[in-house]
Amino acid sequence: MNLVSTKLYTLFTFDASEPVISAEAVLKANEIPCVVMPLPTEIAASCGLSLKIWQKDYKIAINLLKAKNLAPTGRYWADKQGKTTHFQPID
C-alpha cells in the first residue's frame, strides 16, 4: 500500500502554505515519505494544505520539524473507514 491510499496515517497542519512546503522538503531530505494534500474539511485550520506521513514515522518527523522551527500547529492520527476519515488530535 502506498502513502496516498493508506487508511492509517498521521496528518500535520500548519498556519500557512509556506511551512507545509518547507516541512515537506525537510522530511524528504531525510528520506521520510510524505504527501502534501488539501486540508480535510473535518479539521479547522487557517491553511488549505496539510502534510500526510506514515504513523510509524511520527516521532522522527516531529523531531526533525521542531529542530528546523517548523513544528506543525496541528497533529492528528487519521483512520479512514469507508468514505469517512476519523481524526484524533495528538497531544
Torsion-angle region of 29 (φ positive above 0: left; ψ -120 to 50: alpha; else: beta) = alpha
- Specify the CATH class of 8-89 in words: alpha beta
pTM (2 d.p.): 0.92
Helix/strand/coil for 2? coil
Query: d(Cα 16, Cα 88) in Å, to the nearest integer?
Result: 21
pLDDT band of 27, cuts 50, 70, 90: very high
Helix/strand/coil for 62? helix
Dump pLDDT digits (tens) for 35-60. 999 999 888 755 689 999 999 999 99
Q: What are the domain boundaries of the chain?
A: 8-89
